[in-house]
Amino acid sequence: MSEGTSTTRARLITAMSELMRRQGYSATSVKQLTTAADATIGSLYHHFPEGKLGVAAAALQESGAAYIQLLPLLLDPHDDLAEAVTGAFDAAADQMQNAGWINLCPVGTVAGEIADIEPGLREVVAEVVTAWIDRGTEYFAARGLGSAAARELTLALLSALEGAFVLSRTLRSGEPLRSAGRAMASRATDMAAHGALVDTASDEGGRDYPSGTRTATRT
């Protein structure tokens, strides 16, 4: 693949990511995409025979892989897990306001929109989110939580974050993100305390937690 060919493909993916982040998948036309990418329609179909659908899939995959890299970058500076979670949500609120209240990641924007109308893209989004869950579980397990607790916290954080993005965008306010961050910080504290004190195979609710040392600090 030549440098020019590679650059055209990259421009198409970048343009698609930005357009989906701002206006979603359905509202993005092929003409808008090629104009934003400074590419011809012929070059789009050369790189992506499936057209807009193919570009969107590649954009979601690349964006998803990039955004999960923010997890350690945002949380590692904090030894206390609750402080780390609060700081991450506060940073998201500031970034969203500075960006003019557009979604920070196209994955969340597209997920609900295409769930029932584009099964191929839904599968791509599902793969991205599954990778996020797996990576988050690994991260929080490395910070001392049991594997089941780490997965539960990851799912709770993702659910709170994506929901707060919708509310913050609607209300043009960072309050939903900051409130969600405080709630999730409290949950993280509870889970860390539970993990540090319970050495049995499961808790009172029947959830399985591997025995061993579990704390909220990095290992």
Least confident of 37-41, 155-159, 211-215: 211-215
**Cβ proximity of 140 and 215 under 8 Å:** no
- So what's the pLDDT on residue 193? 82
Q: Domain 69-197, CATH 3.30.300.180 — does that match?
A: no
pLDDT at 112 (0 to 100)? 85
The residue among 186, 25, 21, 36 whose CA lies nearest residue 96 is: 21
CATH 1.10.10.60 fits 3-60, yes or no: yes
Give ranges for CATH 1.10.357.10 in the chain: 69-197
Exposure string (b/e) for 140-159, b if CB count within 10 Å is 16 or more? bbebbbbebbbbbbbebbee
Average pLDDT, the chain: 87
The answer, yes or no, to whether residue 127 has pLDDT greater than 90, is yes
The mean per-residue pLDDT over the stretch 10-28 comes to 95
Q: What is the band of 201 on the pLDDT scale with cuts at 50, 70, 90?
A: very low
The pLDDT score that the predictor gives to residue 206 is 42
Closest Cα to residue 178, out of 191, 189, 167?
A: 167
pLDDT of residue 108: 85
**202: DSSP letter:** B
- Name the residue type at position 215: T
Domain with CATH 1.10.10.60 in the chain: 3-60
pTM of the model: 0.83
Q: 160 near 184, Cβ under 8 Å?
A: yes
